[in-house]
């Protein structure tokens, strides 16, 4: 009987935690100028949890399943989506991000030079797997359960799409929903042409 009395209070606390998580992971339009990752800056090196399958290892050019540094990936450019399972804008953007990957893979000029991956900020491996399955994501996704990447890059809001070179220079940073995958890929292609 005692549990039934506090059940509404527990539910209210749970809902408050969910709302705070959503607010934390959603880009506030007015504050976008104050965000840490910007075009032109150089990002520090981060370590990913490991390329767990032979397919991921082959795609990224990584020789082992152990944790590896982001800039060990064999590419000229990296297109990295920073997202969270609990970000509604990330979920809304997922089909458009999948379309970006499909376009890069289908373009003979881009597919060997650009590798795409996702980093799930503060998410655990099982949450990454849920996101991959729910949104049918074909590119590699990596968890950041211990917040090491989040803290190193000082990313406070998602989604964030970053195009960078292999020295960590940010060539394009896009916060929020990608409304037009076609327009975004044209920007990527313009940058790729300058290589």
Average confidence score pLDDT of the chain: 86
DSSP single-letter state for residue 10: H
CATH number, domain of 108, equals 3.40.30.10
pLDDT at 165 over 80: yes
Q: Which residue range(s) make up the domain with 90?
A: 2-193
**Across 126-144, average pLDDT:** 96
pLDDT band at 1 (very low <50, low <70, confident <90, very high): low
| CA geometry: angle 104, 120, 20, nearest 5 deg | 130
Residues sharing a CB contact under 8 Å with residue 4, sequence separation 6 or more, in sequence order: none
Residue 175 · residue 36 · CB < 8 Å: no
pLDDT at 155 over 50: yes
* pLDDT tens-place string over residues 57-113: 999 999 988 999 999 999 999 999 999 999 999 999 999 999 999 999 999 999 999
Number of domains present in the structure of the chain: 1
pLDDT at 56 over 90: yes
| pLDDT for residue 27 | 43
| pLDDT for residue 176 | 95
Q: In this predicted model, which residue has the larger pLDDT, 37 or 14?
A: 37
Return the residue matching tokens 């504050």: 31
* pLDDT tens-place string over residues 24-33: 444 444 344 4
pLDDT at 40 over 80: yes
Q: Alpha helix locations (H) across the chain?
A: 2-24, 54-60, 88-106, 125-135, 148-153, 181-193
What separation in angstroms does the CA of 153 have from each of 15, 19, 62, 74, 174?
Answer: 28, 24, 23, 21, 15
Q: In this predicted model, which residue has the larger pLDDT, 30 or 13?
A: 13
């Amino acid at each position: 009987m005692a549990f039934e009395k506090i059940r509404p209070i527990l539910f209210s606390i749970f809902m408050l935690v969910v709302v705070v998580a959503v607010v934390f992971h959603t880009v506030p339009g007015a504050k976008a100028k104050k965000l840490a990752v910007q075009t032109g800056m150089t990002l520090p090196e981060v370590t990913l949890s490991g390329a767990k399958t032979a397919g991921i290892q082959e795609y990224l050019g990584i020789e082992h399943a152990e944790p590896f540094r982001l800039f060990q990936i064999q590419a000229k450019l990296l297109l990295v989506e920073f997202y969270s399972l609990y970000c509604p804008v990330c979920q809304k953007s997922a089909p458009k991000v999948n379309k970006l990957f499909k376009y890069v893979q289908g373009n003979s000029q881009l597919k060997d030079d650009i590798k795409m991956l996702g980093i799930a900020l503060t998410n655990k491996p099982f949450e990454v797997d849920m996101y991959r399955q729910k949104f049918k994501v074909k590119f590699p996704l990596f968890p950041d359960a211990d917040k090491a990447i989040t803290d190193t890059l000082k990313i406070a809001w998602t989604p964030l799409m970053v195009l960078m070179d292999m020295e960590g220079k940010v060539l394009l940073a896009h916060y929020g929903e990608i409304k037009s995958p076609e327009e975004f890929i044209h920007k990527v292609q313009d940058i790729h042409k300058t290589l």
